[in-house]
């Protein structure tokens, strides 16, 4: 089921009543209700938003990702359900005991899918992409010779029509990319929790300060969707600042259509298919991750 994304950039009061999210504009006093079961993401940006603890609890129980923004209006933290699957302990055990060969094979599949999608994106932009297809064919188990890094260097040199350096604190449009990636990361973390896995335990990413290593792994092949949206924004909006309008455009990534072999699906639904396939790999019932094609 396609879930709604709610963005709050003005002072609102958020309460829960009869399984509904009761939203009250603190300036006008006007209220409306949204069924909690229809919500997938809540982005809280304004510092004067009032939200009750029962509301946060109810949202968490329904696997709603609540994303909180900092003083710079950038996502900085997230609320996720810790008890989201009926056999969660068993799934945690599979994940914790995953062998190194399995993790290397999974990372190989992730890198191949990422480079494939980067090549597809360049092809859609009528830019040279053939070298990425070559890198894709040379990815080893565990990506021991770092084809991901080599492919990324070529991709970022080619994807934009102007000189660009990909950096977290870099020049325009890095801020747009960062915001999109954070939203994507939150969506992947939500899907991982829904599949009964721990986002902290990564396949390739390992950092004791990172609570979302697995989300950072799984999201890699989906990053070109964000890149494509940012290019669309660049071609549509003259503003180089991260406005509310541009944030709303980036949030649309969650409902963008992607394509499995026999069906098409909104991204937020497809993410659950991918994380479920990862769960099955950990359990030993499958050997292949299920990633959709980002473009038909």
Report pLDDT digits (tens) over 255-268: 999 999 889 999 99
User: What SS3 state is found at 54?
Assistant: helix
More confident residue, 270 or 168: 270
User: Contact 250/179 with Cβ under 8 angstroms?
Assistant: yes
Q: Domain segments of the chain: what residues?
A: 4-79, 88-283
pTM score:
0.90
Can you give the pLDDT at residue 216? 95
CATH topology of domain 88-283: 1.20.120
More confident residue, 178 or 92: 178
- Mean pLDDT within 125-152: 97
User: Contact 67/179 with Cβ under 8 angstroms?
Assistant: no
Give ∠ CA 233-136-94 in degrees, rounded to 5: 95
Q: Which of 236, 206, 223, 249 is nearest to 156 (CA)?
A: 223
Least confident range of 66-80, 143-157, 182-196: 66-80
Rounded (10°) CA dihedral 41, 46, 52, 56: 20
Can you give the pLDDT at residue 97? 93
Quote the tokens at residue 149.
């890094």
Percent of the chain at pLDDT above 90? Answer: 76
Is the bond into 252 cis (omega within 30 degrees of 0)? no
Quote the tokens at residue 157.
């040199």
Can you give the pLDDT at residue 209? 66
User: What superfamily does domain 4-79 belong to in CATH?
Assistant: CRISPR-associated endonuclease Cas1, N-terminal domain (3.100.10.20)
pLDDT at 249 over 90: yes
Q: Which residues of 118-130 are buried (b: 16+ CB within 10 A; e: fewer)?
A: bbbbbeebeeebe
Q: How sure is the predictor about 144, in pLDDT bands with cuts at 50, 70 and 90?
A: very high
Quote the tokens at residue 264.
């098409």
Quote the tokens at residue 110.
């992730």
Residues ≥6 apart with Cβ < 8 Å to 133: 119
Least confident range of 83-87, 188-192, 290-294: 83-87
Percent of the chain at pLDDT above 70? Answer: 97
Report pLDDT digits (tens) over 25-78: 998 999 999 999 999 999 999 999 999 999 999 998 888 989 998 888 888 888
pLDDT at 2 over 80: no
Alpha-carbon distance values, 277 to 94, 150, 289, 290 (Å): 13, 27, 5, 6
Can you give the pLDDT at residue 290? 97
pLDDT at 288 over 80: yes
Report pLDDT digits (tens) over 193-244: 888 898 889 999 887 667 789 999 999 999 999 999 999 999 999 889 999 9
Average pLDDT taken over every residue of the chain = 92
Can you give the pLDDT at residue 109? 98
């Amino acid at each position: 089921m396609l879930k709604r994304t709610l963005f709050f950039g003005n002072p609102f009061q958020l309460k829960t009543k009869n399984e509904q999210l009761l939203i009250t504009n603190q300036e006008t006093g006007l209220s409306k209700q949204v069924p909690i079961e229809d919500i997938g993401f809540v982005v809280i940006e304004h510092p004067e938003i009032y939200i009750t603890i029962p509301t946060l609890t109810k949202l968490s129980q329904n696997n709603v990702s609540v994303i909180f923004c900092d003083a710079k209006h950038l996502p900085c933290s997230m609320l996720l359900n810790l008890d989201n699957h009926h056999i969660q302990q068993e799934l945690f055990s599979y994940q914790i005991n995953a062998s190194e060969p399995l993790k290397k094979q999974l990372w190989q599949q992730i890198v191949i899918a990422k480079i494939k999608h980067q090549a597809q994106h360049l092809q859609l932009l009528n830019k040279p992409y053939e070298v990425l297809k070559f890198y894709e064919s040379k990815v080893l188990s565990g990506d021991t010779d770092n084809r991901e890094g080599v492919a990324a260097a070529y991709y970022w040199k080619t994807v934009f029509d102007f000189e660009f350096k990909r950096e977290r604190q870099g020049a325009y449009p890095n801020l747009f990319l960062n915001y999109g990636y954070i939203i994507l990361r939150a969506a992947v973390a939500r899907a991982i929790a829904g599949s009964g896995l721990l986002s902290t335990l990564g396949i390739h990413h390992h950092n004791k300060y990172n609570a979302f290593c697995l989300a950072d792994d799984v999201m890699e092949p989906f990053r070109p969707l964000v890149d494509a949206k940012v290019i669309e924004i660049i071609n549509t909006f003259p503003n180089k600042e991260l406005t509310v309008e541009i944030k709303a455009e980036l949030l649309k990534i969650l409902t963008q259509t992607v394509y499995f072999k026999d069906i098409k699906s909104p991204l937020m639904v497809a993410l659950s298919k991918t994380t479920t396939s990862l769960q099955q790999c950990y359990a030993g019932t499958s050997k292949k991750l299920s990633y959709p094609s980002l473009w038909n």
